[in-house]
Structure 1
Amino acid sequence: MRAAVLTQFGAPLTVREVPDPDAGGGEVVVEVLAANVAPYAAEVFSGKRKYPLVPPVVPGVGGVGRILHVGPDATRLRVGDLVWCDSTVRSRDDALTPDITLQGWSSRGEGGARLAEYLHDGAFAELMRVPTENVFPLPAAAGEDPARWAALTVHTISYGGLLAGGLAAGETLLVSGATGNLGSSAVAVAFAMGAGRVVAPGRNKAALDLLADRFGPRLRPVPLTGDEATDRAAMSAAADGPIDMVIDLLPPSAPSSASRAAAMTVREYGRVVLMGGVGMLGGDDLALPYPWIMRNSITVRGQWMYPRTANVGIIRLLASGALDLAPERVRPFDLNAVNDAITYAAAHGGPFDRTSLTPSAG
Structure 2
Amino acid sequence: MRAALLRKFGAPLDLAEVTVAPPGPGEVLVRVAASGVCGSDLKAIAGTSPVVTHLPCVLGHESAGTVEAVGPGVASVRPGDAVVVAMNGPCGKCRECVRGRVHLCGGRARMAAIMGLTADGTTRLRAGGEVVRPYIGIGSFAEKAVVGEAMCVKVGKDDPLDLLALTACAVVTGVGAVLNTARVEPGASVLVVGCGGVGLNVVQGAVLAGATTIIAADIAESKLRLAREFGATHTIAADDLADRVGAIVRGGADYAFDVTGVPGVLAAAFAATRPGGTTVMVGSPAADAAVQIPPGLLFGSRRLMGTQGGDANPARDLPLLAALHRAGRLRLDALVSERLPLDAVNDAVRHVKEGGVARSVLVF
Classify the TM-score, shorter chain: 0.7 to 0.9
Is 1:202 the counterpart of 2:218 in the alignment? yes
1:195–1:115: structure 2 CA closer, same or farther, 3 Å change rule? farther
Is 1:211 the counterpart of 2:216 in the alignment? no
1:189–1:241: structure 2 CA closer, same or farther, 3 Å change rule? same
Indicate conservation of the 8 Å contact 2:89/2:149, yes or no.
no
Is 1:236 the counterpart of 2:240 in the alignment? no
Shift of 1:165: 0.8
Shift of 1:267: 2.7
Letter in 2 for 1:286: V
For residues 137-164 of structure 1, what are the alpha-carbon distances to aligned partners after superposition, in whole Å with 9 as ceiling and x for unaligned? Answer: 1234434xx3333222211111221111
Indicate conservation of the 8 Å contact 2:175/2:204, yes or no.
no
1:246–1:101: structure 2 CA closer, same or farther, 3 Å change rule? farther
Is 1:286 the counterpart of 2:302 in the alignment? no
Letter in 1 for 2:333: A
CA distance in structure 1 between the aligned counterparts of 2:319 and 2:108, rounded to whole angstroms: 20
CA distance in structure 2 between the aligned counterparts of 1:292 and 1:148, rounded to whole angstroms: 41
- Matching residue of 1:315: 322
Indicate conservation of the 8 Å contact 1:90/1:98, yes or no.
yes
SS of residue matched to 1:68: strand
Aligned residues: 338
Moved more, 90-99 or 124-133: 90-99
Shift of 1:17: 1.9
Moved more, 151-160 or 325-334: 325-334
Is 1:223 the counterpart of 2:237 in the alignment? yes
Letter in 2 for 1:219: T
- Matching residue of 2:308: 304
SS of residue matched to 1:244: strand
CA distance in structure 2 between the aligned counterparts of 1:134 and 1:114, rounded to whole angstroms: 13
For residues 30-64 of structure 1, what are the alpha-carbon distances to aligned partners after superposition, in whole Å with 9 as ceiling and x for unaligned? Answer: 10010111256445313255653411111111311
Is 1:150 the counterpart of 2:155 in the alignment? no
- Matching residue of 2:208: 192
CA distance in structure 2 between the aligned counterparts of 1:38 and 1:289, rounded to whole angstroms: 32
Is 1:128 the counterpart of 2:145 in the alignment? yes
Letter in 2 for 1:138: V
- Matching residue of 2:101: none
- Matching residue of 2:60: 60
Shift of 1:170: 2.7
Letter in 2 for 1:62: E
- Matching residue of 2:184: 167
Moved more, 197-206 or 35-44: 35-44
Q: After the TM superposition, which residues 1-362 of structure 1 pair with which residues of structure 2 at under 5 Å, given as runs?
A: 1-39=1-39, 41-47=41-47, 52-90=52-90, 94-96=94-96, 98-99=105-106, 107=114, 118=122, 120-121=133-134, 122-143=139-160, 146-152=161-167, 153-162=169-178, 163-177=180-194, 179-215=195-231, 219-225=233-239, 230-239=240-249, 243-251=253-261, 254=262, 256-278=263-285, 280=286, 285-293=290-298, 295-305=299-309, 306-308=311-313, 309-350=316-357, 353-358=358-363, 361=364
CA distance in structure 2 between the aligned counterparts of 1:2 and 1:328, rounded to whole angstroms: 26
Indicate conservation of the 8 Å contact 2:11/2:45, yes or no.
yes
Letter in 1 for 2:235: P
Indicate conservation of the 8 Å contact 2:62/2:166, yes or no.
no
SS of residue matched to 1:129: strand
1:209–1:35: structure 2 CA closer, same or farther, 3 Å change rule? closer
CA distance in structure 2 between the aligned counterparts of 1:113 and 1:93, rounded to whole angstroms: 20
Indicate conservation of the 8 Å contact 1:84/1:135, yes or no.
yes
1:53–1:71: structure 2 CA closer, same or farther, 3 Å change rule? same
Indicate conservation of the 8 Å contact 2:28/2:69, yes or no.
yes
Indicate conservation of the 8 Å contact 1:222/1:238, yes or no.
no
Shift of 1:100: 8.1
SS of residue matched to 2:190: strand
For residues 297-340 of structure 1, what are the alpha-carbon distances to aligned partners after superposition, in whole Å with 9 as ceiling and x for unaligned? Answer: 22322112233243333333223221112323432222222222
Consecutive unaligned residues of structure 2, counting only runs of 5 or more, are 97-103, 124-132
Consecutive unaligned residues of structure 1, counting only runs of 5 or more, are none
CA distance in structure 2 between the aligned counterparts of 1:181 and 1:300, rounded to whole angstroms: 22
1:231–1:344: structure 2 CA closer, same or farther, 3 Å change rule? closer
Shift of 1:347: 3.0
Letter in 2 for 1:304: Q
1:257–1:8: structure 2 CA closer, same or farther, 3 Å change rule? closer
1:48–1:292: structure 2 CA closer, same or farther, 3 Å change rule? closer
Q: TM-score, normalised by structure 2?
A: 0.81
CA distance in structure 2 between the aligned counterparts of 1:237 and 1:276, rounded to whole angstroms: 25
Matched-pair identity in %: 23
